[in-house]
Structure 1
Amino acid sequence: MLPERLKTLRLEAKMTQKEIAEKQGISQQAYAQFEQGKSIPNTKRLQAFSDFFNVSTDYLLGNTDIKSKTLETDLNKTLDNVRSFDGKPITDADRETIREILKRRQQEREQKEIK
């Protein structure tokens, strides 16, 4: 998933591999290997890509389809602070269900924006 996400984000930014590599302080060949899946970035480099493209590391790794760092962070903070609904405690399973529903809704919104 990471190689595809890196390439897609680079193309969306209308940048070449060389331009990304220069901004990241690595060689174009090293960056190309990340996009081709021949090499895996270490944690520090992954975070640098995340910061550069303004997406979460979870998005880069394919753990979520939500690009926005702040949306994912806000969603997690909000759900972690919810304790009850209608006078009944919310379980961890409930929180995860709500999280998945909201993520799906965000994906639908993003798809509509693309069309």
Structure 2
Amino acid sequence: MIFENIRNLREDNDKTQKELAEYLNIKQTTYSKYELGKINIPIEMLIKLADFYDVSLDYLTGRDSRKNRT
């Protein structure tokens, strides 16, 4: 679920994997593995992604279907 959400958010915001990897200060290949669900995403990266997209951690993890923070 997480990997689908971060991919959808990236695509919805017209961002590339490279742009997100640079923002997170990781390699693009690592970010790609996050989106493919091949490796677990560290909590600090999830927090940065939630902040970047202005969504809750609950949304990223699939616990809440609402994108917007309230």
TM-score over 0.5 (shorter chain): yes
SS of alignment partner, residue 6 of structure 1: helix
| Superposed CA offset, 1:45-69 (max 9, x none) | 1111111111001000000001112
Figure out how many residues of one structure are paired with residues of the other and give that number: 70
Which residue of structure 1 aligns with residue 58 of structure 2?
Answer: 58
Using the alignment, how far apart are the partners of 1:50 and 1:9 within structure 2? 10
Moved beyond 3 Å, runs of 4+: none
Which residue of structure 1 aligns with residue 20 of structure 2?
Answer: 20
Query: Is residue 40 of structure 2 the alignment partner of residue 34 of structure 1?
Result: no
| Superposed CA offset, 1:76-110 (max 9, x none) | xxxxxxxxxxxxxxxxxxxxxxxxxxxxxxxxxxx
RMSD value, Cα: 0.7
Q: Among all aligned residue pairs of Structure 1 and Structure 2, give the percentage whose two residues are the same amino acid.
A: 37
Choose 1 or 2 for highest CA Rg. 1
Q: Which runs of 5+ in 1 are unaligned?
A: 72-115
TM-score by length of 1: 0.59
Using the alignment, how far apart are the partners of 2:6 and 2:23 within structure 1? 14
Using the alignment, how far apart are the partners of 1:68 and 1:55 within structure 2? 5
TM-score by length of 2: 0.94
CA drift at 1:18: 0.6
AA paired with 2:2? L
Which residue of structure 1 aligns with residue 5 of structure 2?
Answer: 5
AA paired with 1:35? E
